[in-house]
């Protein structure tokens, strides 16, 4: 259990249960991983485009 959950999480003054907070943190982690993967893919595509443009010159 994360420190955030142990401290007690509230939203609009109402407490979240530990399971809800853990599920939220897990979902946020998955979103972050997906964003990182998409950004890595974009960087690979930019690198390939630069390589192709330089090779064409």
Kindly state the tokens that stand for 41. Answer: 């893919």
Q: Across 1-5, 20-24, 29-33, which has the greatest mean pLDDT?
A: 29-33
Question: 10-26 in b/e burial notation, b at 16+ Cβ within 10 A?
Answer: eeeeeebeeeebbeeee
Measured at the alpha carbon of residue 30, what is the angle toward residues 19 and 10, in degrees to the nearest 5? 35
pLDDT value, residue 20: 79
pLDDT value, residue 18: 75
Kindly state the tokens that stand for 51. Answer: 């390589």
pTM of the model: 0.57
Q: How confident is the model at residue 11 (pLDDT cuts 50, 70, 90)?
A: low
Residue 22 in this model has a pLDDT that exceeds 90: no
pLDDT value, residue 2: 55
């Amino acid at each position: 259990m994360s420190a955030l959950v142990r401290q007690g999480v509230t939203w609009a003054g109402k407490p979240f249960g530990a399971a809800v907070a853990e599920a939220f943190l897990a979902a946020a982690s998955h979103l972050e991983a997906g964003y990182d993967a998409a950004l890595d893919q974009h960087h690979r595509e930019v690198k390939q485009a630069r390589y192709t443009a330089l090779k064409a010159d």
